[in-house]
Amino acid sequence: MDKKEVLAKVENLPEVSAFIDEKLEEAGCPMKVQMQIDVAVEEIFVNVASYAYEGKEGLAEIFFDIDSDKKVNITFVDSGVPYDPLKKDDPDVTLSADERQIGGLGIFMVKKTMDDMAYEYKDGKNRLTLIKSLV
């Protein structure tokens, strides 16, 4: 398992993305899958950077692993406010943009493009894992 640790600041997204892309390229990840993972990583990291620490500085840890079934597991860990994005209701995408409530589309998109997601709050830390098969 590989790990990257950065301050949870939006300006550190390029560093996080480069870390993930390097690992995906080493694994021979198809470009379509890599693009889906890149969008999901951006959404989750920006959410952590924007909301986890409520305006204070804090760390984000990103763990990258590929299991024997060629499934990528990317886990975001922060010590910010407990928040389970998987419990948030999906937006009603049948409504027009004007009728929809603001927010929630990013997490919805991540749920739709990843094969699975898992969340736990343990030892004072949020842990959100994205799971995507390379095959």
Answer yes or no: is pLDDT of 98 > 70. no
Q: How far is CA 132 from CA 33, 75, 114, in A?
A: 8, 12, 5
pLDDT of residue 90: 61
Place domain 2-133 in its CATH homologous superfamily: Histidine kinase-like ATPase, C-terminal domain (3.30.565.10)
Answer yes or no: is pLDDT of 21 > 70. yes
Q: CA-CA distance, 119 to 107, in Å (whole number)?
A: 13
pTM of the model: 0.89
